[in-house]
């Protein structure tokens, strides 16, 4: 039986924003980290355009540091299929006291992914979360690219 959805402009999914919840498989972060630390990595199976994202404080905490010191950042990035290298295209500043399951408004640049690329959620290098345990997750908004 043939697939009735054909990834074309007449497909009812064309241009419809969809959401992908990134798994929060990382451990609670409780110290200053020396290098980027991956929280989650998800491989996309179709060509997509990521439009926006938000960080989710799965386990909230009271954070240390300030935005000016470039500490306390969670990044979302793109990893070309098979390379492992991550190019961040969005970030969220984690500061103050944050309750569990708080959605943190995050910045993003629209980014195109092709099948096989990875969406990566990571703590940015030098992020200092020493005051208490914190665990991040993410929610990515995207549309499918049919052409």
Map out the domains of the chain as residue ranges. 18-144
- Nearest-5° Cα angle at 103, 72 to 121: 55
Radius of gyration of the chain (CA): 17
Q: What is the pLDDT of residues 37-68, one digit of tens each?
A: 788 889 999 999 999 999 888 877 776 655 44
Average pLDDT taken over every residue of the chain: 78
Architecture of the structural domain at 18-144: Sandwich (2.60)
With a cut of 90, say whether residue 99 has pLDDT above it.
no
Please tell me what DSSP assigns to residue 47: -
With a cut of 80, say whether residue 113 has pLDDT above it.
yes
Q: Do residues 29 and 123 lie in contact, with contact meaning Cβ atoms separated by under 8 Å?
A: yes
Order of strands across the sheet that contains 107-108: 37-43, 118-123, 73-79, 87-93, 107-108
**pTM (two decimals):** 0.80
- What distance, in Å, lies between the first and last C-alpha atoms of the chain? 23
């Amino acid at each position: 039986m043939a697939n009735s959805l054909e990834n074309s402009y007449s497909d009812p999914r064309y241009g419809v924003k969809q959401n992908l919840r990134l798994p929060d498989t990382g451990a609670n972060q409780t110290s200053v980290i020396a290098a980027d630390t991956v929280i989650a990595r998800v491989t996309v199976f179709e060509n997509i355009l990521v439009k926006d994202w938000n960080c989710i404080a799965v386990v909230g905490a009271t954070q240390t540091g300030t935005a000016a010191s470039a500490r306390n950042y969670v990044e979302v990035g793109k990893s070309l299929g098979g390379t492992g290298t991550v190019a961040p295209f969005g970030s969220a500043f984690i500061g103050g006291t944050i309750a569990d399951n708080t959605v943190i408004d995050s910045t993003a640049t629209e980014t195109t992914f092709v099948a096989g690329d990875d969406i990566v959620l990571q703590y940015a290098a030098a992020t200092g979360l020493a005051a208490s345990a914190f665990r991040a997750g993410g929610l990515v908004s995207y549309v499918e690219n049919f052409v």
